[in-house]
Amino acid sequence: MDSIWTQTVTLPAFPALEGHVQADAAVIGGGITGLLTAHLLRREGVSVVLLEADRVGGGQTNRTTAKLTAQHGLKYHSLIQQVGIKTAGQYARANLEAVERLRRLVKEWNINCDFQDCTAYLYTQGPPAALVAEYNACRRLGMDVFLTKDTQLPFPAQALGLRNQALFHPLKLLAALLDGLTVFEHSRVLEVKGHTLRTEQGSVTAGTIIFACHYPFVNFPGWYFLRQHQERSYVLALEGAGAMGDCYLGLDGAGLSFRPLGDLLLLGGGGHRTGENRQGGKYAELVRAAEGFWPGCRVVSRWSAQDCMPMDGIPYIGSFSKNRPDWLVATGFQKWGMTSSVIAAEVLSNLVLGRKLSPDHAVFSPQRFHGKASVKQLAGDTIQAVRGLSRRVLAPGRIPAETLPAGHGGIVKLNGEKVGVYRTEDGTLLAVSVKCPHLGCQLEWNPDEKSWDCPCHGSRFDVYGHLLDGPAQKDGECQEEIAGCNTKKLQLPGSD
C-alpha cells in the first residue's frame, strides 16, 4: 500500500537521462537531502543535475513520518558517554539549528507544506530511570526539555518533552523544491568514475558528485557497507483514533510512536534489523495495539520504512573519502532523516561553494572514528555479515516448496540448489536466487512486505527479484526453472 503522502500529493514526472550532460554538480538521489542540496546550489548560481533511480520522492522521503525534531530517542545520555560532551553538544546544536533552519526556509520561501509546531516527547510506562538520565543529559547540553506525566497518550506514561519541534508534509516540501531544477527520473546511476557517472542511457560529467541516495552504492573507497546496517519499521495511518497535537516515541517494547496528521493519526513501531523478520506479523501487532487503544478505528494506509544505522550513531555527511575530495556523501541518518537532511543540505552545499562549515558540523565528518562508540556495533555487523554469508553456503533449505501456502514465501532446496520461493495467490511458485547480488549474503523472506531482504547491508528485492532497496545495484537472479512441485518456468517480466 502507498504511504499516506503519496495518496495526497502527486509530484510532476521527469524524463530519463539520455546522452551526455555537463554540470557543476551532480546529485544522486531525489529525496529531501538531494532536492534541498540541489535547490540551495541552484539559488547560488551553480549548475546542477539531479538523478533519481525511480521517481522523485519515491524512496525513504515517501516513507518517513516527517517529524522534524532534535529529540532522537535516548540519544544524548549515550552520546555524552560514548563521544564526550563536546561532540554531543555539536550534535545537539546542529539538530536544534536544523529545526529552526527549515522553519525559516519554509517561511522565507513561502512553502505550503503543512508545517506545524509541536512538542516532541519520549515516553515510558516502565521505570523512569532512563528518561531521567536523558533529561539530565539534555539539560547539560542546554536543551529546553521537561519531564511530565501529563500526555495525550491513550495510557498513563511519564514523558520527556522538547518544545518547538515541528511536523510537515514531506512531498509538499519536495514539490516546492523541484521548482527550476534539472531532474532526470528512472535514471539509476550504475557507475561513478572520477568526475563522470553513467546511467543505462546516459552520462554526466560534473565538478562535484553528491551521493544523496540513502545508502551509497559504491563500496570502495568509503567502505560505508562496513560502517552501517539498515533497519525497518512499520506505520499505520488511522482514522477514528484519538486526537493529538504532539508527537510521541515509546521506549518500551515495540517502541510505539504517535504522530498526528490532520484527522488521522500515524502509529509506528515494530522495528527490526532488515532481513530479520522471518515470522512477520509487524502490521498485525500495530493493528492489535490500535484496536486496543481506539476500538473501531480504521486503517486507511500502511507502509514501512528503511533506515541506515551508522556505527557510532552519528550520520556521515561530508567528503566521501580522503581519496575522493570531489565526491560528497550524506548517509546514516538513523530514524532522524528530517533534521539530518537539512544539516546535510547545508554542509554539502557549503562544501560545493567553498564556504566555511559551522564548527558544529565537524561532528558529521565521514572521516572521524569514535572507537568506543563504534566497536560494539562493528562487532555485531561483522558477525551478521559472516552469518549471512555462511548461512547461504552451509544452512539447509527450511521448508518443502509443496507445503508453502498461497501468499507465503520461504527458502527451499530443489534439485540440490537452495532457492527462495514464493507461492502466488493463484498457486504459481516464483523462485529467486537467495544470493544477494551486493556481496553474496543469503536473502531472507519478509512476510510483512512480501520481499526478499538481506540481513548484511539491507538490500531488498520483490518476489520477481526486482531491486527495491540498495546498496545492491541490480536485480536478484531469477531461477530458470523449478521442477517437481507444481512449478512453472520463471522469467523476470520484460526479459527474453
Contact positions vs ligand FES (CB under 6 A): 225, 436, 438-441, 454, 456-459, 471-472
Termini Cα distance of the chain: 30
CB 441 to ligand FES: min, Å? 4
Cis amide bond preceding 471, omega within 30: yes
Q: Assess contact for 26 and 207: CB atoms under 8 A.
A: no
**Closest CB to ligand FES among 31 and 471?**
471
Report in angstroms the alpha-carbon separations of 252 from 124, 128, 243, 276: 6, 11, 22, 20
76 touches 93 (CB < 8 A): no
Q: Which is nearer to ligand FES, 78 or 384 (CB)?
A: 384
Q: What are phi and psi of 391, to 5 degrees?
A: -60, -40
Assess contact for 367 and 222: CB atoms under 8 A: no
Q: Which of 123/225 has CB closer to ligand FES?
A: 225
Cβ at position 451, least distance to ligand FES in Å: 13
Specify the 3-state DSSP secondary structure of 113.
coil
Query: Least Å distance between CB 50 and ligand FES?
Result: 25
For cell 512477520, name the residue: 280
CA distance 109 to 450: 41
Nearest to 318 by CA among 365, 359, 363: 365
How near is the Cβ of 334 to ligand FES at its closest, in Å? Answer: 18
Q: Which is nearer to ligand FES, 324 or 474 (CB)?
A: 474
- With beta carbons less than 8 A apart as the criterion, state whether 37 and 349 touch: yes
Asked if residue 259 lies in contact with residue 265, where contact means CB atoms within 8 angstroms, the answer is yes
Rounded Cα–Cα distance for residues 150 and 128 (Å): 14
Instruction: Name which of 217 and 293 has its Cβ closer to ligand FES.
Output: 217
- Find the length of the chain: 496
Nearer to ligand FES by Cβ, of 134 and 453: the residue is 453
- Cell readout for 415 is 534439485
CB of 459 to ligand FES, least distance (A): 4
- Provide the 3-class DSSP secondary structure of residue 244: coil
User: Which amino acid belongs to residue 245?
Assistant: G
Smallest distance, ligand FES to C-beta of residue 397, A: 19
Which of 235/434 has CB closer to ligand FES?
434
CA 404 to chain CA mean position, Å = 31
Distance CA 430, CA 477 (A): 12
Smaller CB separation from ligand FES, 89 or 437: 437
For the bound state, the minimum distance from the C-beta of residue 438 to ligand FES, rounded and expressed in Å, comes to 3
Beta carbons within 8 Å of 209's beta carbon, 6+ residues apart: 25, 26, 28, 192, 195, 197, 326, 327, 328
- Residue 369 CB contacts under 8 Å (≥ 6 apart), including other chains: none
Minimum distance from residue 60 beta carbon to ligand FES (Å): 16
Question: Based on CB atoms, which residue is closest to ligand FES, 42 or 229?
Answer: 229
Supply the minimum distance, in Å, between the C-beta of residue 140 and ligand FES: 38
